[in-house]
Amino acid sequence: MKPNTKLFFYLFIGLFLFSCNKNDESVALLKLAQDSFETNPNRVLSLLDSIENPEKMDKDDYMEYVLSYIRAKSEARKDISGDTLIFGVQRYFEQKGNIGKSALANYYVGQIYYLNGMQPKALEFFMYSADEAQRASNDLLAVKSLNNIGYIYFERDMLDSAIVNYQKALSINNNIEKSNHGTSLTSQMLITTLTNIGRTFEGANKLDSAYLYFQKGLILAKKQENTIEESQLYLNLGATCYGKREYEKAIEYYQSALNMDITGEKQIQKINLYLLNIYNEIKESKSAKQYADLVTVSLPNVTNLQTMKEMYASLSEYYKQAGDFKQALEYSNLEKATKDQIEQEANVPALLDANKNFYIKQKEREAQELREFVLWCIAGGVFTLAVILLFVIYNRRDTEKFKQEIERRTEKYDLVLGQLRAENERYPHIVAEIKAMEEDANKEENKGKEEGEK
Which runs of consecutive H residues, i.e. helices, occur in 224-347?
227-243, 247-259, 265-281, 285-298, 305-322, 325-346
Give the alpha-carbon dihedral of 384, 390, 394, 399, to 10 degrees.
70
What is the predicted pLDDT for the residue at 230? 94
What is the predicted pLDDT for the residue at 34? 74
How many structural domains compose the chain? 1
Q: Is 190 a member of any domain?
A: no
Q: Is 303 a member of any domain?
A: yes
Q: What is the mean pLDDT of each successive set of 10 residues along the chain, which is 454 residues long?
A: 47 42 69 73 88 89 93 92 94 94 96 93 95 94 96 92 96 87 84 96 95 96 92 94 93 90 82 92 92 94 89 94 93 92 71 64 63 71 76 68 71 71 68 72 68 60
Q: Is 2 a member of any domain?
A: no
CA atoms within 13 A on the CB side of 271: 20
Q: Is 329 a member of any domain?
A: yes
What is the predicted pLDDT for the residue at 261? 79
Q: Is 76 a member of any domain?
A: no
Distances in Å between the alpha carbon of 136 and those of 36, 38, 100, 145, 322?
20, 19, 5, 14, 60
Question: 97-121 burial, b for 16+ CB within 10 Å, e for fewer?
Answer: ebbebbbbbbbbbbbbbbeeebbbb
Distances in Å between the alpha carbon of 272 and those of 196, 227, 245, 308, 359?
21, 20, 17, 13, 43
Q: Is 330 a member of any domain?
A: yes
- At 182, is the secondary structure helix, strand, or coil? coil
DSSP letter (8 states) at residue 80 = -
C-alpha 182/C-alpha 218 separation (Å) is 18
Q: Are the C-beta atoms of residues 44 and 33 closer than 8 Å to each other? A: yes
Q: Is 45 a member of any domain?
A: no
C-alpha 60/C-alpha 48 separation (Å) is 16
Domain that holds residue 320: 265-339
C-alpha 224/C-alpha 444 separation (Å) is 137
Q: Is 315 a member of any domain?
A: yes
